[in-house]
Amino acid sequence: MTDLPDSPLPPQPPSLQPGPQDLPFDVDLRKLNLGVGYVALLLPVSLALVTLLTNTCFNASISHYYYSRLGGDILVGALSFIGLLLMFFYGFRTTNRLGCLGYGKIDIVLLKLAGLAGIMVAFSPTTGSGCAYDGAEVARVFLTQAQGSEGFHPPGGTVSGTISYDFWASFPIFGGPENVPTLLKALHFGAAGVMFSILGYFSYFVFTRENSPAARAPGNRKDRRNIWYRALGRVIFGVVAVLAIKGALLGLVLPAAMAESIAAFWDSLRLTFVGESIGLISFGFSWMIKGRFIYAFEDAAAMPQGRVA
């Protein structure tokens, strides 16, 4: 009687916690930082191009491009991209990873809050038209009490209604803009302030920490990066402060007639658009430096073959 061959071992179940080497794609924190930075940097540039290329009104603020063709899609898409990445990409285990060694759990909470604020900015648009239309432009607006034809094919049909530039006023539960709670009207501006403030905090306080061993090694350029981080952080904080003071003065302090006159002059110069653009570009550059978009910011120990800085 011959011996039977050994029975093969039963197949082992796959690991429920695959390591990074098992993923079908690369996860690169620097590329994430670069992506966020480029989107923030190019958002105001893209909206300016929308005005130049599509005969769109030059809106009083970046947020008012929500009501323009193409501009609204770019605005919502960019803010959604940034917001969702900040909310879901960074986990609490991030604090132990290279590039984030100086992060604390409260920093991750703030990143997620900034992401949520970005989503709120995108989906609770600002109020007011932001433009004086002369008949040549195309605008996207909310229509209340809408009536019209169900035309699925060209030339389609017409829809009429009361034009509204107030997102919350388009909800029947409020019955008109005069009944919308002030808190909801201020949601867009409050969320924008929270988002920018947190991003300024990251540029000034978090990115300046030692987040990788290469930042401690000889030939590091941490001091160079920190000069830029702090400068860009100050710019972001400055933009938030200027816009907040302007809003408080015009809305709470100055007499109505004077506030209206100053607001008209301010908007004629598109100063809100300029300020928001400066803040977004500063935010973008800060994250691009974090992603080492040029070698001038790279540490020697992190370069190929450890080139001397």
Question: What is the tens place of the pLDDT at every residue in 103-115?
Answer: 999 999 999 999 9
Give the pLDDT confidence score for residue 306 in this predicted structure. 44
Tens-place pLDDT, residues 132-145 = 888 888 888 888 88
Give the pLDDT confidence score for residue 308 in this predicted structure. 46
Give the pLDDT confidence score for residue 223 in this predicted structure. 95
Q: Provide the whole-model pTM.
A: 0.87
Tens-place pLDDT, residues 285-305 = 999 999 999 989 999 888 875
- Indicate the pLDDT class of residue 22, thresholds 50, 70 and 90: low
Q: Which residue has the higher pLDDT, 135 or 8?
A: 135
Give the pLDDT confidence score for residue 16 in this predicted structure. 56
Q: Which residue has the higher pLDDT, 221 or 9?
A: 221
Give the pLDDT confidence score for residue 140 in this predicted structure. 87
- Give percent of the chain above pLDDT 90: 58
Mean of per-residue pLDDT scores for the chain: 88
Domain locations in the chain as residue ranges: 28-147+156-306
- The mean pLDDT value for 188-216 works out to 95
- The mean pLDDT value for 44-59 works out to 92
- The mean pLDDT value for 25-50 works out to 91
Give the pLDDT confidence score for residue 307 in this predicted structure. 46
Evaluate if residue 151 carries a pLDDT over 80. no
Give the pLDDT confidence score for residue 309 in this predicted structure. 43
Evaluate if residue 83 carries a pLDDT over 60. yes
- Indicate the pLDDT class of residue 99, thresholds 50, 70 and 90: confident
Give the pLDDT confidence score for residue 18 in this predicted structure. 55
Tens-place pLDDT, residues 215-271 = 888 889 999 999 999 999 999 999 999 999 999 999 889 999 999 999 999 999 999
Give the pLDDT confidence score for residue 152 in this predicted structure. 76
Residue 257's Cβ-count burial label (10 Å; 0-12, 13-18, 19+) is exposed
Terminal CA-CA length for the chain: 75
Give the pLDDT confidence score for residue 2 in this predicted structure. 47
- Indicate the pLDDT class of residue 25, thresholds 50, 70 and 90: low
